[in-house]
Structure 1
């Protein structure tokens, strides 16, 4: 893997190409996916390949992904950052409910600490801002958890520029996660704010959720490098901005290796110009209790 790194929160150095755990669970991120020993093997291979950022969430499964992370990697090697999320409750494979009351966030964090077998979660991300709870109360709960030593840094998932700017007025934000990839630039302005403030940006659906395979420009660049479209998409993210930290997920050892090998793809200025010209559709943030595309 390439050696490009970023310091999450200014003090946690990680390699920018990480690994996401959503694909270790069943369809709709609900229930188990196959033999758990396969998931353990993928997680261990990721770390063997040099991954130092593992991104998970309490509602993947729910609980299953966090439990697999602990089963595979605990005791955690020095320098490995486990990032998780709270603030969404699952009641079915297509049912996602935003839950941001302070008592809910505290209970979710405590449960994640137990499942992950951690005393402190390096990066704890609010999976969605709850529109029915004042943002100050949600961030205040996370600040309390940080003051208690239960989390080290706070992150936000799926926010607007205005929401991030407002949050930064009251507390430190180390990372954000929004949908962003080669074909979807709806969070471009948010990326610019992250660059200006030194905030890590973990793009979800970094491989376009399968849409990249049919793009002719991406395919042409991939052919020129003897690479796959997915590798080109990840290489583009790594070069696009020094704060981008893609964490592609997979349950396959072969696909994991393919993703991690993208760090070795060196795109030319001409490649970047062609790829930069591609565009996408802005994201839509799901409302509380709405059945929708799953949070990731």
Structure 2
């Protein structure tokens, strides 16, 4: 699973909220008045060369009135703290600062699990320090979820399942993440996108899912609505594709067949996407089975994605 890509999407979709939350250790004054621009990594590859310095999202924060100098934020997600290199991060920030002609660079590292091994890099002799480098560390698993349980920052709410909580509070963290998504995001496409994000990092088993549906019926209904909307969108896309194919064929039978095939392809594509988001790369036999299934069967399997944590159970003919 690409955690880097998940967090890159999150930061690019909600840059202001991401900086407010992930860079809380260095609060930015008048951030609401600033313009935030992502620095495209494609522009940096030739200069930096080494693929290991391609971090998630450099964000340039500029104030249109010109009264404040621009700030460059470099945000990196690190799933395994053992892989983190403070030397690599320092090198990247120096290169990036030189490229953009600024010394106002704020490195931010988001640790998904565990603690960061090293916060500071100091180079020098017995008598002098010639380089002193530090970064902001956002250790999600060390943050008490109660701090952000009712937050109006959507980035914080979406990350509740990755924060610290007692075992009995896991369902509550999940429910408040879902509620935050429903209340803070109005765009249906982003709602569908980030219900997947919540599910990926909550990892509820079947028993926890049942408890959630029992104890949080309102939030459970929200999830059902998201799922129904996703299925409906897939059906509409399939119908449109089928209708187009039928018109091109110029025959009534062609239109009917096109609609059937178009809907099947739309449902199959939707199910494959859901499964890949939840379980990663799919085995060839699963893709073959999806491609051969009818629309009704695909709808049943799509609904099961939201209520089971086992890939095999989704296709269980006895359920």
Q: If the length of structure 1 is used for normalisation, what is the TM-score?
A: 0.29
Ranked by relative contact order (alpha carbons within 8 Å, sequence separation 6 or more), the top structure is: 1
Which structure's residues are more often helix, by fraction? 2
Q: If the length of structure 2 is used for normalisation, what is the TM-score?
A: 0.27
